[in-house]
Structure 1
Amino acid sequence: MATIRGCDFPDDYFYSVEHNVWARLEADGTVTLGATSFGLALAGEIVSCMPKRPGREIELNRAVATLESGKWVDSMKSPISGEIVAINEEVEANPALINQDPYGAGWIVRMKPANWPTESTLLVTGPAIAQAFKIRMDAEGFGI
């Protein structure tokens, strides 16, 4: 796991650095999405999570959920296109889970990807994670 300026990034996940979203390919071919620890550090404590409903087709870089903190409201953009097949009802009831365990219990939606082989190449993974997020953190003035 890469840790950059106090933010963790599991090495085997895929990241949209621009949108602070992670993606994890599951054994059944679905892809689970959530917010990065860096994005959450910027946003603060999440107080509301409103994901789009299962069955909804989502285009690349379009909203899959709306997240709200005490200082911020924004849509979580999907780093892939596809159909939402599941939402994390636990985070709807207890949005604090997103901050407490962003890469585990705090996942937000699961999707059936339309084009994972191509769209996953647009995401950052493995050794490139640290450098990509250092550049983004510098641009945001985070932890400097």
Structure 2
Amino acid sequence: MVKVEEFELKEDLYYWRKGHTWAKIESNDRVRVGIDDVGVKSAGEIVFVRLKPKGAKVKQGDALGVLESAKWVGPIESPVSGEIVEVNEQLRKQPKLLMSSPYGDGWIAVIKPSNLEVDITNLLKGSDPQAIEWYKKEIEEKVRKKK
């Protein structure tokens, strides 16, 4: 993990920059997805999460669900295309898990990817030197300017 100011950037994840979501490729041909630290903190206090159901199909950039915070209501964009095979049911009762553990207990869904080889070319690997520069820019634009 890399710290960029007080924000975490995980080197083993792939990032969908447009939607501030991450993808973790798991060994069983599944991809666990969530919202990155900048996306969560720029949203403010999260009060509600509505997710698409298990079995729903999504394309890269499509909404996996909706996030509602004190400051903002908007889509949670999928970093990969495929079928949702699991959703984090804990988020319905405890949406604050997104804030306290965006890369752990606050994950959004698990997706069986349909086109991972292509989708991954649109993602930024956390270990890529460009990732830190992108994160710094996003912190300035999404977090610092909002204060």
- The TM-score by the shorter chain falls in which range? over 0.9
What residue number does 2:108 align with?
A: 108
The 1-side partners of 2:48 and 2:96 are apart by 8
Q: May I ask how many residue pairs the two structures share in their alignment?
A: 144
TM-score normalised to the size of structure 2? 0.91
What residue number does 1:129 align with?
A: 131
1:25 alignment partner AA: I
Shift, 1:17, TM fit: 1.7
What residue number does 1:48 align with?
A: 48
Backbone CA RMSD of aligned residues: 1.6
User: What pairs with 1:22-41 in structure 2 (closer than 5 Å)?
Assistant: 22-41=22-41
Distance 1:30 1:44, change over 3 A: same
Any conservation in 2 of the 1:51–1:87 contact (CA below 8 Å)?
A: yes
Deviations 1:83-130 (A, max 9, x none): 111000011111111101000000011100111111112111113321
1:9 alignment partner AA: L
1:49 alignment partner AA: V
What residue number does 2:144 align with?
A: 142
1:136 alignment partner AA: E
Structure 2 residue runs without a partner (length 5+): none
**2:83 alignment partner, SS class:** strand
TM-score normalised to the size of structure 1? 0.93
Deviations 1:41-69 (A, max 9, x none): 11012111111001111112110010111
Shift, 1:140, TM fit: 3.6
**2:124 alignment partner, SS class:** coil
Shift, 1:136, TM fit: 2.6
The 1-side partners of 2:139 and 2:98 are apart by 20
Shift, 1:141, TM fit: 6.3
Any conservation in 2 of the 1:48–1:69 contact (CA below 8 Å)?
A: yes
Any conservation in 1 of the 2:21–2:35 contact (CA below 8 Å)?
A: yes
**1:19 alignment partner, SS class:** coil
Structure 1 residue runs without a partner (length 5+): none
What residue number does 2:5 align with?
A: 5
Percent of paired sites with the same residue: 32
